[in-house]
Amino acid sequence: ETGVTQSPTHLIKTRGQQVTLRCSSQSGHNTVSWYQQALGQGPQFIFQYYREEENGRGNFPPRFSGLQFPNYSSELNVNALELDDSALYLCASSLGLAGREETQYFGPGTRLLVL
C-alpha cells in the first residue's frame, strides 16, 4: 500500500506566473483535499475533490483551481501567483466523504516560494 506522494517537493516561481502541484492519493482512496500552510500557521482548507468533482471549497480566490483524475490523483493549479502564495501546500487523501478525518492521510507537501 503506497502512501500519499506530492511533487515537486520544492518550487520557486516569480509573481504573475502559474504553477501546478501534483498529488497521488493513497491506494484505494477516492477523495483528495488540498491545504495551504503559511509559515507559522496551521493548514487552511483550499478545496476537496471526490470522484473527480469539487466537493467543498474554502475561502480562496478562483485563481486557485484543481482537478482530480480517474485514478484519483489530483492537481492544484494557481494562476497569477502573488508573494502571499508562498507556503507549504499539503494534499490529503481519504476514502469517502467528510467525517473520515481519522483516516485522512497527508502527503509531505510541496514548498512553494514566490519571488
Partner 1 sequence: DQQVKQNSPSLSVQEGRISILNCDYTNSMFDYFLWYKKYPAEGPTFLISISSIKDKNEDGRFTVFLNKSAKHLSLHIVPSQPGDSAVYFCAARYYSNYQLIWGAGTKLIIKP
User: Taking CB under 8 A as the rule, does residue 56 contact partner 1?
Assistant: yes
Beta-bridge partners for 37: 88
Cα–Cα dist 40/51, whole Å = 32
Interaction between residue 60 and partner 1 (CB under 8 A): no
Q: Is position 106 an interface residue for partner 1 (rule: CB under 8 A)?
A: yes
Closer CB to partner 1, residue 81 or residue 107? 107
Residues 21-40 that bind partner 1 (CB under 8 A): 40
Instruction: Pick between residue 43 and residue 66 the one whose CB is nearest to partner 1.
Output: 43
Q: What is the Cα–Cα distance from 78 to 96, expressed in whole angstroms?
A: 26
Q: Least separation, in Å, of the C-beta of 15 and partner 1? A: 26
Residues lying near partner 1 in the complex (CB under 8 A): 4, 40-45, 56, 58, 90, 92, 97-99, 101-109
